[in-house]
Amino acid sequence: MEASAPRTVDQLLEQYADSHRNPTNELIHCICVPAIVFSFLGMLWAIHPWVALAVVLVSLVYYFSLSVPFALGMVVMTALCIAGLSLMPAAWVLPASLAIFVVAWIGQFAGHKIEGKKPSFFDDLRFLAIGPLFVLGVFFRRLRIAY
C-alpha cells in the first residue's frame, strides 16, 4: 500500500515553518499576523466595506481549496476582523489600520531577525496568504484540533 502524497497545505505549512522555528518568532507571528490581517482588511474597508468583503470571499475560495478546517478557521478570523471594523467609527478605520499594519510588520521583521532567517514571502508571495494558516495551525495544535 502506498503512502498518500502530502496535501498541498501541509507542504506549504512545512515550507513556511522552516523560517518560523524559534518560539519567540512563532509567538510574534501569532500576534502580528492576525493584526496584519485585521489592518489589511481595515485599509480595504476604508476604501469601501464591499472591497474588504470581496477580498475575504476570494481568499476564502483559495483557503477552501487547501483545507476545509483551515478555511473555517479563516472564516472565524475574518468575521472577527469585519465585526471589529464595522464597530469602529469610520474616521478611525484608516489611521488605526495603517498604524497597526506598520507596527505589526516591524514585529514580524524583528521576529525574523531573532529567527535569523528571511520571511518566507521573499521567496514566494503565496506565503503572505499562508501566514494566517500557520497561526491557525499553532492554535489548532494547542487545542488538539485535526486539520
CA 93 – CA 88 distance, rounded (Å) = 6
Q: Around Cβ 136, how many Cβ atoms within 10 Å?
A: 26
88-133 pLDDT per residue, tens: 999 999 999 999 999 999 999 999 999 999 988 888 888 999 999 9
26-76 pLDDT per residue, tens: 999 999 999 999 999 999 999 999 999 999 999 999 999 999 999 999 999
* DSSP state at residue 22: S
pTM score, two decimals? 0.90
Torsion region of 32: left, alpha or beta (phi above 0 gives left; psi -120 to 50 gives alpha): alpha
